[in-house]
Amino acid sequence: MTYHENAQLSFGQKEAPVKVEVFLNLTCPYCAAFYGIAEDVLKDYLDKGQVEFIVKHYDKPREMLLNGTLINLFLDYENPLRVKEILKDLFETQAQWDQFHNQDIKNLLAEKYQLKEEPKNTEISLSVTEEAIHRNVKMVPTIFINKKEFQYPTELNSDELRSEIEAELDKKRLNPYE
């Protein structure tokens, strides 16, 4: 098992020296906070080909996360850039929909985003869950920068995320074959 599998939602260059992976759930407020930070901090690194940002929606079986699990069934993984825009919008509006009932969530996804249930997403969800279990991911968000893990309750602010990426880039500069 490679440490950056399940890269259906991958942004940036696959050959980038730094991999930032996040296991998240759309209903988690900590995930919303991290995603906002990542959107801001990672843009320049993505543009320069230095970072690959891999988002893994973890359908963790916890009651407060079930709406995120439902939404994940509707995301079109064949169109990752659109999914990225939808994730950003859903995180920004999380407080408006996070207590909706199932049918209200489905209506929101159909009407606002023109999404329909994607049958293949069940298999993707199971694969991400298997990886999360294998990697001992207990909480969302759990972030990996290359192989270094940051797990809730540790949160990365903008400066810490930038610092960790720079440290990884420095390591690659010093040991390019590692």
In this prediction, residue 172 carries a pLDDT of: 84
Complete domains list, the chain, with CATH: 9-164 (3.40.30.10)
Low pLDDT (below 50) residues in the chain: 1-2
Q: What is the structure's pLDDT at 4?
A: 58
DSSP string, 109-149: HHHHH-----TTHHHHHHHHHHHHHHTT--SSSEEEETTEE
DSSP output for 56-101: EE---S-GGGHHHHHHHTT--TT-HHHHHHHHHHHHHTHHHHTT--
Per residue in 55-106, pLDDT (tens digit) is 999 999 999 999 999 999 999 999 999 999 999 999 999 999 999 999 999 9
